[in-house]
């Protein structure tokens, strides 16, 4: 392909796409530019397919430090472990592009997006989606649809599409919608707390906002398609994975074992269902062998899986019946225990069906906040509210060791954080860490984290304006009719067409995440899903509210006092070289956090009586009258104590306790080589005040003046 540049203005963004300029040995590539941001997106495919029926897609979004004129920090001066933002952006690009691939595409494919020049005003996630999309559409991969993304904010009660990053900082909403033509493919959404008040969106308002974003996406994706499809390379002839060869075997299963498959699916427990299907597979093999019919076990597995999926979908679409016997809009049974861990600040064991999350809350101060950097920022940031999600193998019966945090765990933790954050008001200088240990999983463990996390925060005494519940919604569709499922379990997630997670308070939605396996869904389906999710969310909140009312505080919860003192008194509380504050900490067994700018004092300790005694002690210091500084008579001799000896002079404590400087040049008229030979700490010496300006006092020796 010869070098070709296309400039497109869509949704208030001017983008430049240059093809045939870089990475020409990749299956597809683009040099993308927006403002001063430059991204290189590439697509590379392996010609050897995997044996399984799944899409082995890997997306890597990588920010280079040099893109922001920085050298990586730390001991090793090169990029290493991806940041949370890089990992989350990789997931967003993956979820946006995965539905574009044709069914049966099972060739390993890697999409890489490199940020080689940054711009603090550019939305890098939108840029990454559009760059990767253009590289994929113009590649020789059999993809013939284009996506487009729109970021939506609410600034001063006005809905804004694709706001710049500085404007987005003031937004009450962070909504990312990705779609193709008139269908939505991916949604990532959160509301943002304003003025220490929770900020959620009612479902009907959210539907209108998504629908309007969909119209922008329709125009943009069609424009991209028209421009890029003309540059598409000759498509590779790749054989797609097909189960057609198993149709005869599938028909055999249908004719002889239909009732057995139906009964196996209807087993309540996930493990029982799996065991029943394994037993059924052995039963089918035995019957085939008795009839002298040879079959590969792999072929039988695919045929049985295919037939099971068809039966599962037919049960829901035709019979309105789910595998565990629930109605389509029914939530699984819920049990809740709070503060069951005696040495933890706050804890909750939240169980919904066969999904169980043990969520804990730990309180800290500002020094416990997580430091991080963004390529678009010149300075580092701190994260005072953290949510960490862990998914060990035993939660689904897998025998594997616990390893480093993976992309899925990071993404689920981030979703839970976004859901909870807008209802949490931290005290000054407070940090909070929420940790979710998934002990059992059969669908929707991230939403169990939201429910358990909200209750654990309450159990730890954190300021929470409203309880937050989360629910995962699913979809079964045959192209003509569809069914929305409430509180999906693992089977429905695996066999279904959509995973739509909705979290919020009784007043509306605080966070949302949608992924689909179809090529896109309509606004009507999104509307139906949100309305059903609202009913499920309200049901869960009613159970959570009952648990909150019977909640007892944790015995491990530290006693805390917040109060204010005059800013000018902070120095007296600290004392000289920190002696006073250390004395208070040791005497009363408390920790003290001071806000020098606002005069805030935070006391924490396990003993309530000692805490109150420490508070009274500090308030006595703060209430003491201000000590006025002595006004010295210039030229008069005073006696002072040597406090510190430096190369340039001696610090002397004057009679009123203030320190003054006796500079080496004012010691005497002769040359002084070493002050430490002339003076020792705590010596009482005669000095004359040469000049006084506020707390700045300049001294000399009588010999010098004479």
CATH number at residue 607: 3.30.1370.10
Q: Can you give the pLDDT at residue 269?
A: 55
Instruction: Look at residue 159 and tell me if it is in a domain.
Output: no
Q: How far apart are CA 593 and CA 584, in angstroms?
A: 12
Whether the predicted model's global pTM rises above the 0.75 cut: yes
**412: which 2 tokens?**
């689920």
CB 56 within 8 A of CB 107: yes
Q: Can you give the pLDDT at residue 386?
A: 96
Instruction: Look at residue 30 and tell me if it is in a domain.
Output: yes
Q: Can you give the pLDDT at residue 553?
A: 86
Instruction: Look at residue 162 and tell me if it is in a domain.
Output: no
CB 682 within 8 A of CB 672: no
Give the long-range contacts of residues 258-264, CB within 8 A, separation 24 or more: 258/311, 261/304, 261/307, 261/308, 261/311, 262/311, 262/315, 264/308
Instruction: Look at residue 570 and tell me if it is in a domain.
Output: yes
Q: Is 255 in the same domain as 353?
A: no
The residue out of 594, 623, 652 marking a domain boundary is 623
Closest of 431, 419, 422 to residue 194, by C-alpha: 422
Characterize the bridge pairing of strands 381-383 and 346-352.
unpaired
Q: Can you give the pLDDT at residue 448?
A: 97
Closest of 72, 184, 195, 178 to residue 128, by C-alpha: 178
Asked if pLDDT for residue 181 goes beyond 70, the answer is yes
CB 196 within 8 A of CB 123: no
Residue carrying structure tokens 């933890």: 344
CB contact set of 374 (below 8 Å; sequence gap of 6+) = 85, 381
Distances (CA, A) of 434 to 42, 364, 444, 593: 37, 11, 18, 22
Q: Per mean pLDDT, which range of 331-335, 558-562, 665-669 is the poorest?
A: 665-669
Q: Can you give the pLDDT at residue 272?
A: 55
Q: Is 290 in the same domain as 351?
A: no
Closest of 227, 218, 139 to residue 178, by C-alpha: 218
Instruction: Look at residue 23 and tell me if it is in a domain.
Output: yes
CB contact set of 418 (below 8 Å; sequence gap of 6+) = 190, 510, 511
Q: How far apart are CA 693 and CA 695, in angstroms?
A: 6
What is the rounded radius of gyration, in angstroms, for the C-alpha atoms of the chain?
33
Q: Can you give the pLDDT at residue 706?
A: 61
Q: Is 379 in the same domain as 435?
A: yes
Is residue 672 very low, low, confident or very high in pLDDT (cuts 50, 70, 90)? low
Half-sphere exposure for 525 (CA within 13 Å, toward CB): 26
CATH number of the domain encompassing residue 258? 1.10.10
24: β partners: none
Neighbours of 174 (CB within 10 A): 18
Q: Can you give the pLDDT at residue 305?
A: 80
3-state SS record for 515-540 = EECCCCECHHHHHHHHHHHHHHHHHH
Q: Is 574 in the same domain as 686?
A: no
Q: Can you give the pLDDT at residue 532?
A: 96
Q: Can you give the pLDDT at residue 132?
A: 98
CB 248 within 8 A of CB 256: no
Q: Is 134 in the same domain as 219?
A: yes
CATH number of the domain encompassing residue 128? 3.30.230.70
Count H helices, E strands: the chain?
A: 16, 31
Q: Per mean pLDDT, which range of 146-150, 312-316, 408-412 is the poorest?
A: 312-316
Q: Is 503 in the same domain as 641?
A: no
Residue 325's SS3 state is coil
CATH number of the domain encompassing residue 643? 2.40.50.140
Asked if pLDDT for residue 213 goes beyond 90, the answer is yes
Instruction: Look at residue 160 and tell me if it is in a domain.
Output: no
Q: How far apart are CA 205 and CA 207, in angstroms?
A: 5
**621: which 2 tokens?**
């210091």
Q: Is 338 in the same domain as 473?
A: yes
Q: How far apart are CA 392 and CA 239, in angstroms?
A: 36
Q: How far apart are CA 336 and CA 348, in angstroms?
A: 7
CB 79 within 8 A of CB 65: yes
Q: Can you give the pLDDT at residue 240?
A: 86
Closest of 126, 191, 129 to residue 165, by C-alpha: 126
Q: How far apart are CA 105 and CA 98, in angstroms?
A: 11
Cα angle 498, 499, 501 (rounded to 5 degrees) comes to 140
| Percentage above 90 pLDDT, the chain | 52
Asked if pLDDT for residue 196 goes beyond 60, the answer is no
Closest of 334, 356, 350, 321 to residue 485, by C-alpha: 321
Q: Can you give the pLDDT at residue 44?
A: 97
Instruction: Look at residue 157 and tell me if it is in a domain.
Output: no
Is residue 198 very low, low, confident or very high in pLDDT (cuts 50, 70, 90)? low
Q: Is 467 in the same domain as 426?
A: yes
Q: Is 500 in the same domain as 356?
A: yes
189 against 622, higher pLDDT: 189
Asked if pLDDT for residue 670 goes beyond 80, the answer is no
DSSP string spanning 547-563? Answer: HHHT----TTPPEEEEE
Q: How far apart are CA 358 and CA 437, in angstroms?
A: 5
Closest of 341, 330, 337, 333 to residue 452, by C-alpha: 337
Mean pLDDT of 272-286: 73
Q: How far apart are CA 701 and CA 706, in angstroms?
A: 9
Highest mean pLDDT (candidates 282-286, 473-477, 515-519): 473-477
Mean pLDDT of 21-49: 96
87 against 253, higher pLDDT: 87
For 50, the domain range is 4-151+200-231
Q: Is 225 in the same domain as 259?
A: no
Tens digits of residue pLDDT in 49-104: 998 778 999 999 999 999 999 888 778 888 888 999 999 999 999 999 999 999 88
Is residue 262 very low, low, confident or very high in pLDDT (cuts 50, 70, 90)? confident
Asked if pLDDT for residue 245 goes beyond 60, the answer is no
Mean pLDDT of 217-225: 95
Q: Is 93 in the same domain as 25?
A: yes
Instruction: Look at residue 378 and tell me if it is in a domain.
Output: yes
Cα angle 699, 702, 706 (rounded to 5 degrees) comes to 120
Mean pLDDT of 42-55: 90
The mean pLDDT of the chain is 89
Longest dimension (CA), the chain: 124
Is residue 454 very low, low, confident or very high in pLDDT (cuts 50, 70, 90)? very high
Q: Can you give the pLDDT at residue 306?
A: 81
**162: which 2 tokens?**
């694709």
Distances (CA, A) of 514 to 330, 471, 503, 517: 20, 12, 12, 10
**706: which 2 tokens?**
């004479």
The residue out of 599, 623, 647 marking a domain boundary is 623
Q: Can you give the pLDDT at residue 493?
A: 87
**Number of domains within the chain:** 5
Closest of 332, 341, 609, 567 to residue 471, by C-alpha: 332
Q: How far apart are CA 578 and CA 598, in angstroms?
A: 19
The residue out of 623, 652, 670 marking a domain boundary is 623
Q: Is 612 in the same domain as 643?
A: no
Q: Can you give the pLDDT at residue 222?
A: 95
Cα angle 190, 195, 197 (rounded to 5 degrees) comes to 60
Half-sphere exposure for 585 (CA within 13 Å, toward CB): 13
Q: Per mean pLDDT, which range of 133-137, 218-222, 267-271, 653-657 is the poorest?
A: 267-271
């Amino acid at each position: 392909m010869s070098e070709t540049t296309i400039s497109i203005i869509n949704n208030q963004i001017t983008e430049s796409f240059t093809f045939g300029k870089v990475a020409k040995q990749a299956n597809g590539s683009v040099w993308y530019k927006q403002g001063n941001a430059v991204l290189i997106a590439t697509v590379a495919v392996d010609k050897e397919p995997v044996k399984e029926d799944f899409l082995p897609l890997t997306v890597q979004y990588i920010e280079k430090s040099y893109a922001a004129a920085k050298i990586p920090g730390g001991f090793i001066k090169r990029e290493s472990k991806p940041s949370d933002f890089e990992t989350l952006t990789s997931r967003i690009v993956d979820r946006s592009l995965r539905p574009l691939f044709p069914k049966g595409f099972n060739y390993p494919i890697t999409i890489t997006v490199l940020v080689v020049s940054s711009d603090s005003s550019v939305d890098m996630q939108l840029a990454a989606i559009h760059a990767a999309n253009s590289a994929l559409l113009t590649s020789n991969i059999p993809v013939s649809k284009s996506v487009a993304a729109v970021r939506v904010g609410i600034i001063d009660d006005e809905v804004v599409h694709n706001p710049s990053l500085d404007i987005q900082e003031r937004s009450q909403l962070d909504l990312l919608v990705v779609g193709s033509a008139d269908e939505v493919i991916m949604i990532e959404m959160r509301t943002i707390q304003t003025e220490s008040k929770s900020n959620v969106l009612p479902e009907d308002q959210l539907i209108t906002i998504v629908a309007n974003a969909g119209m922008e996406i329709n125009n943009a994706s069609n424009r991209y398609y028209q421009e890029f499809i003309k540059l598409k390379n000759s498509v590779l002839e790749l054989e797609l994975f097909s189960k057609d060869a198993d149709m005869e075997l599938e028909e055999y299963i249908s004719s002889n074992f239909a009732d057995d498959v139906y009964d196996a699916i209807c087993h309540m427990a996930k493990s029982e269902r799996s065991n029943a299907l394994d037993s059924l597979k052995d039963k089918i093999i035995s019957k085939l062998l008795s009839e002298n019919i040879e079959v590969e076990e792999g072929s039988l597995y695919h045929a049985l899986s295919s037939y099971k999926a068809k039966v599962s979908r037919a049960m829901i679409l035709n019979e309105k019946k789910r595998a565990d016997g629930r109605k389509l809009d029914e939530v699984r049974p819920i049990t809740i225990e709070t503060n069951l861990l005696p040495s933890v600040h706050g804890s909750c064991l939240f169980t919904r069906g066969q999904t169980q999350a043990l969520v804990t809350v730990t309180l800290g101060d500002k020094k416990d906040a997580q430091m991080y950097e963004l390529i678009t920022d010149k300075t580092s940031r701190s994260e005072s509210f953290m949510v960490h999600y862990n998914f060990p193998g035993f939660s689904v019966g897998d025998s594997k060791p616990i390893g480093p945090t993976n992309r899925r765990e990071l993404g689920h933790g981030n979703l839970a954080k976004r859901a909870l954050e807008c209802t949490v008001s931290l005290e000054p200088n407070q940090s909070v860490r929420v940790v979710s240990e998934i002990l059992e999983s059969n669908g929707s463990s991230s939403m169990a984290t939201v429910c358990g996390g909200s209750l654990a925060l309450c159990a730890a005494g954190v300021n929470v304006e409203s309880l937050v519940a989360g629910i995962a919604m699913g979809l079964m569709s045959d192209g003509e009719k569809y069914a929305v499922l409430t509180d999906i379990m693992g089977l429905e997630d695996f066999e279904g067409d959509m995973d739509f997670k909705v979290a919020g308070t009784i007043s509306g939605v605080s966070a949302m995440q949608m992924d689909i396996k179809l090529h896109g869904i309509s606004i009507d389906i999104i509307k139906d899903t949100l309305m059903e999710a609202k009913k499920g969310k309200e049901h869960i909140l009613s159970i959570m509210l009952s648990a909150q009312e019977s909640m007892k505080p944790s015995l491990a919860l530290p006693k805390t006092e917040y109060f204010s003192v005059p800013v000018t008194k902070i120095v007296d509380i600290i004392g000289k070289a920190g002696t006073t504050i250390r004395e208070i900490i040791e005497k009363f067994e408390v920790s003290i956090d001071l806000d020098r700018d606002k005069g805030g004092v935070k006391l924490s300790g396990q003993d309530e009586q000692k805490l109150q005694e420490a508070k009274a002690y500090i308030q006595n210091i703060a209430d003491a009258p201000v000590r006025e500084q002595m006004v010295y008579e210039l030229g008069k001799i005073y006696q002072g104590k040597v406090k510190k000896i430096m190369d340039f002079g001696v610090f002397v404590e004057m009679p009123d306790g203030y320190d003054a400087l006796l500079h080496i040049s004012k010691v005497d008229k002769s040359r002084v080589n070493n002050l430490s030979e002339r003076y020792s700490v705590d010596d009482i010496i005669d000095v004359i005040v040469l000049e006084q300006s506020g707390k700045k006092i300049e001294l000399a020796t009588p010999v010098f003046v004479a």
